[in-house]
């Protein structure tokens, strides 16, 4: 078995098709609900049961599994978080066991053998605990038979396993309790899926005119959702005419014969339809493991370094590369894969296509290095261990064709001789390796355009690096043993990205102003009166800079205004430096105030972060009446650890601001009119686009007011989420908050807050934690989620919550549940909606817990609630939202009926 680990622990929020209305239809919903009922309702006394979803690649197995993984009943019944493991054809048993142990909140310590880890896994699912484990894309039954069956059967807790596999025989060999085959889409469902991707509701007539050709097209897709999606990705870029669709239908690429059957047809045709440069970009994904999270910005740089992207006019090549990434996404060859728009994944069949088509030039994990002949000259290689790396350097490097070597986390050790053999390499990634000395011969790699040394143990970078005149991207972040950069780094005139963040360099060598192509600079250190270092004013020459992080700001170095004339700067982080173990002197505070006066961002700025500013006042340009003119495009602003300022600048004037974080501003006692702008009248809208506001760890904050007079919609007219944490002295929320459209309110440890009213009519989520003096809540009936933790004084919750979907209450001191809670449960119990998925979670002391059991005084209320989880324990920590473990539990479902308890 290969030692190459290719297992990924997947966060279900990073999956794509779950939110895709063109994939998740009624059939998937019905199948998911049916499987969930089987998982939870059959033979509940059996501690360990395995279920399977089978079907050919691209048919929707993972989509169905994701739906089950996110099902609300799953979260109710299992008291350990669900665990998702993507298993490749070759896997490391050790790494796989470790991932499942981590998912089960276990600790394996220094255990590194199969038998020891199996014992740890068995102990991780302890008595009273329950685990739901999904093993996605299983190829062999021995994964279960030899690795997981014994430890999970021997665990004292309850375990349910769901596997997905292409081979039904694998599921049978694993003795699955139930096998659910995912069937091909019908012709009608297939055409409906394609049609909805290509036509709007207003284009029904146009779609009807292409109905006959559309049915022929989906028949070629053989009922596979993936094939239909990539076909749609191609057709979206073509005229929707009968002639074009007929030509597409008759394309020879549908029936090419030298491809594996699962890769032919729609998948290959979608590749053939790509322009030549996009084909190169697509094939590059073959270098990454299954289920890898693919980062837009990383690939943009790699493609530029490889020369796939040709500069057009004044466009930045990285921007063009990012457009290529988005084009592949729009063609459905990539899948949205994360919480942000710059993360993607690739379906395993699409990845298989990339691997097959690039096998003469690229290799992942050195899989085809051993078998390569002298006629095959590999150009791109990705390795994940030392053995594979040695093979490559021995058999491939001498061919002189190698352009890319990705060896991150491979333990590759590059000595002088090995490095010389990589003379034609353009991309070299040896981040996260144990390399300590970077050989002087690095300067011989004159074709190098991308070099990543981050998270290594290097102590120095040789001066020969100045010979890398073609270098575009240099990463040296978090190299904890590196304290000095070579002076020759300022001779890399083609450098576009320099990342030194987290590396304790003392200064940046003088001459940074020569790097005229830099568009990203992170970790620029302002040195203390060092003549050999770059000064702040040198940054004024970097006209292409877009992202800039500056550290160690203390005092002005000259009278020059800096940054104001940088026309492309969009992201700026300023981190000031002061002794954390003593208070700054008056002289130091005055000096840093004068410095900040001279750092004036350009109008192009969109994201601004300020850390550890220790002056008593904000800069003059920030508190002026023309503040909005200074930063007209700012959308995100963060203040962190600003310990000496007593009031906030007039941030309400920022017309484009959408997100604002105010954290650890301990001298601010009041937020008032100055926050919105002292010169604003009652009719003027302030914070016109602010959506998310966070005020946290402001220990002296006592009052927050919108001002004496204001129009109803003049303050925060777009606010969606408000977070207030650790503001112990805050007595009340501002009255005008009720006029905002806020949907989510999260308040934690506001110990002086006694009343929560003035809430918007459309609020949907309210979380309260550790508000020990809170007595009353007045909410809107639109509330869907209410979570109350350790608010022991709360005695009144007004309004009837007909829309409530989730209620969590935690208090280990009370000897009974409060009246407001009992009344609310009584109201919910009267609802007889068969589709009601209301979820109730109670965390209480043992005496109260016993009254929740069948026959207890609270059972009559609980038995009418659709889904219930009750946890009881004697001791607790009020500062924790979720205690680590509970002494006992009750899990109950009304339909299908399920009742389980541990005392």
Q: Which residues pair with 50 in a beta bridge?
A: 161
Q: What is the mean pLDDT of each run of 10 residues along the chain (903 residues)?
A: 33 35 63 88 78 91 91 82 85 87 88 91 84 92 90 89 93 92 89 91 90 91 89 91 92 79 84 93 92 89 93 81 92 79 86 90 68 67 73 67 89 82 93 93 96 96 96 97 95 97 94 96 89 91 97 90 96 90 89 95 97 95 86 97 94 95 96 79 80 97 81 79 97 90 96 91 94 91 93 88 89 93 86 73 93 94 90 65 60 82 79
- Give pLDDT, residue 720: 96
Measuring CA to CA, how many Å separate 156 from each of 105, 125, 152, 159, 876? 15, 6, 9, 9, 24
Q: Which residues pair with 888 in a beta bridge?
A: 872
Distance (Å, whole) CA 413 – CA 591: 47
Burial class (CB in 10 A: 0-12, 13-18, 19+), 50: buried
Distance (Å, whole) CA 642 – CA 665: 5
In the numeric block, which tokens belong to residue 359? Answer: 């096998």
* In the chain, domain spans: 8-181, 187-272, 276-358
How many residues does this entry show for the chain?
A: 903
Distance (Å, whole) CA 458 – CA 144: 42
Closest CA to 300 of 275, 278, 324: 324
Residue 498 CA, distance from chain mean position: 24
What top-level class would CATH report for the domain 8-181?
A: alpha beta
Q: In this structure, are residues 517 and 546 in contact, taking their beta carbons and an 8 Å threshold? A: no
Measuring CA to CA, how many Å separate 25 from each of 137, 158, 181, 338? 22, 31, 17, 22
Q: Is 414 helix (H, G, I), strand (E, B) or coil?
A: coil
- Give pLDDT, residue 310: 84
- Give pLDDT, residue 903: 76
In the numeric block, which tokens belong to residue 259? Answer: 């491809």
Distance (Å, whole) CA 20 – CA 2: 35
At the second CATH level, the architecture of 276-358 is Orthogonal Bundle (1.10)
Q: In this structure, are residues 576 and 612 in contact, taking their beta carbons and an 8 Å threshold? A: yes
């Amino acid at each position: 078995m290969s030692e190459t680990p290719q297992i990924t622990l997947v966060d279900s929020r990073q999956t794509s098709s779950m939110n895709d209305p063109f994939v998740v239809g009624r059939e998937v919903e019905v199948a998911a609900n049916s499987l969930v009922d089987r998982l939870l309702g059959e033979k509940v006394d059996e501690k360990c049961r395995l279920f399977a979803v089978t079907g050919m690649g691209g048919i929707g197995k993972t989509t169905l599994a994701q739906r089950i993984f996110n099902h609300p009943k799953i979260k109710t019944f299992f008291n350990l978080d669900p665990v998702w493991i993507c298993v490749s054809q070759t896997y490391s048993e050790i790494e796989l066991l470790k991932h499942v142990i981590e998912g089960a909140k276990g600790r394996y310590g220094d255990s590194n053998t199969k038998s020891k880890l199996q014992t740890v896994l068995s102990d991780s699912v302890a008595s009273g605990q329950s685990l739901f484990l999904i093993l996605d894309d299983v190829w062999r039954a021995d994964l279960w038979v030899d690795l997981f069956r014994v430890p999970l059967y021997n665990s004292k807790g309850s375990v349910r396993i769901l596997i997905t596999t292409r081979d039904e025989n694998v599921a049978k060999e694993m003795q699955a309790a139930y096998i659910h085959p995912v069937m091909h889409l019908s012709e009608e469902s297939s055409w409906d899926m394609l049609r909805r991707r290509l036509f709007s509701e207003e284009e029904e007539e146009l779609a009807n005119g292409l109905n006959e050709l559309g049915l022929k097209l989906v028949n070629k897709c053989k009922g596979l959702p993936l094939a239909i999606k990539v076909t749609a990705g191609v057709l979206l870029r073509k005229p929707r005419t009968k002639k074009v669709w007929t030509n597409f239908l008759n394309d020879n690429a549908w029936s090419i014969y030298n491809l594996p059957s699962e890769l032919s047809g729609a998948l290959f045709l979608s590749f053939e339809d790509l322009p030549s440069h996009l084909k190169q970009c697509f094939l590059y994904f073959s270098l990454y493991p299954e289920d890898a999270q693919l980062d837009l910005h990383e690939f943009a740089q790699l493609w530029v370094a490889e020369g796939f992207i040709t500069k057009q006019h004044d466009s930045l090549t990285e921007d063009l590369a990012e457009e290529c990434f988005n084009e592949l996404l729009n063609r459905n060859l990539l899948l949205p894969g994360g919480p942000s728009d710059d993360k993607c994944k690739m379906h395993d069949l699409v990845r298989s296509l990339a691997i097959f088509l690039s096998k003469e030039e690229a290799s992942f994990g050195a899989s085809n290095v051993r078998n390569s002949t002298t006629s095959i000259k590999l150009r791109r290689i990705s390795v994940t261990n030392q053995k594979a790396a040695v093979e490559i350097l021995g058999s491939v490097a001498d061919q002189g064709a190698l352009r890319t070597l990705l060896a991150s986390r491979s333990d590759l050790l590059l000595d002088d001789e090995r490095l010389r053999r990589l003379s034609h390499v353009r991309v070299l990634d040896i981040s996260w390796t144990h390399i300590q000395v970077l050989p002087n011969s690095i300067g011989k790699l004159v074709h190098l355009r991308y070099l990543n040394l981050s998270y290594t143990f290097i102590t120095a970078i040789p001066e020969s690096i100045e010979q890398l005149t073609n270098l575009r991207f240099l990463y040296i972040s978090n190299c904890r043993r590196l304290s000095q950069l070579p002076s020759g780094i300022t001779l890399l005139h083609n450098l576009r990205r320099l990342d030194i963040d987290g590396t304790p360099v003392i200064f940046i060598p003088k001459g940074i102003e020569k790097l005229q192509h830099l568009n990203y600079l992170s970790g620029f250190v302002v040195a203390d009166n060092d003549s050999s270092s770059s000064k702040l004013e040198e940054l004024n020459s970097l006209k292409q800079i877009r992202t800039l992080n500056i550290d160690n700001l203390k005092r002005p170095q000259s009278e020059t205004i800096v940054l104001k004339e940088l026309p492309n700067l969009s992201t700026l982080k300023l981190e000031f430096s002061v002794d954390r173990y003593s208070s700054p002197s008056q002289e130091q505070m005055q000096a840093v105030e004068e410095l900040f006066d001279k750092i004036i961002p350009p109008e192009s700025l969109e994201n601004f972060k300020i850390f550890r500013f220790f002056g008593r006042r904000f800069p003059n340009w920030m508190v002026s009446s023309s503040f909005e003119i200074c930063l007209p495009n700012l959308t995100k602003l963060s203040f962190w650890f600003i310990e000496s300022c007593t009031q906030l600048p007039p941030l309400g004037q920022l017309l484009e601001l959408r997100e604002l974080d105010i954290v650890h501003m301990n001298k601010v006692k009041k937020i008032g009119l100055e926050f919105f702008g002292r010169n604003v009248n009652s009719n003027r809208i302030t914070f016109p686009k602010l959506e998310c506001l966070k005020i946290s760890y402001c220990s002296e904050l006592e009052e927050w007011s919108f001002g004496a007079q204001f129009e109803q919609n003049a303050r925060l007219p777009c606010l969606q989420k408000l977070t207030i944490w650790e503001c112990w002295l805050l007595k009340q929320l501002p009255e005008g908050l009720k006029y905002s459209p806020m949907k989510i309110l999260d308040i934690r440890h506001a110990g002086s807050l006694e009343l929560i009213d003035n809430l918007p009519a459309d609020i949907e989520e309210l979380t309260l934690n550790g508000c020990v003096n809170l007595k009353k809540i007045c909410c809107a009936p639109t509330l869907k989620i209410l979570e109350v933790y350790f608010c022991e004084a709360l005695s009144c919750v007004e309004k009837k919550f007909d829309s409530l979907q989730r209620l969590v209450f935690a208090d280990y001191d009370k000897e009974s549940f409060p009246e407001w809670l009992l009344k609310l449960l009584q109201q919910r119990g009267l609802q007889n909606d068969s589709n009601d998925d209301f979820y109730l979670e109670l965390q209480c002391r043992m005496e109260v817990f016993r009254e929740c059991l069948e026959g207890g005084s609270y059972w009559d209320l609980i038995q009418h609630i659709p889904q219930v989880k009750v946890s009881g324990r004697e001791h607790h920590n009020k500062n924790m939202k979720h205690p680590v473990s509970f002494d006992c539990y009750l899990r109950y479902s009304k339909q299908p009926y399920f009742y389980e308890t541990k005392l």
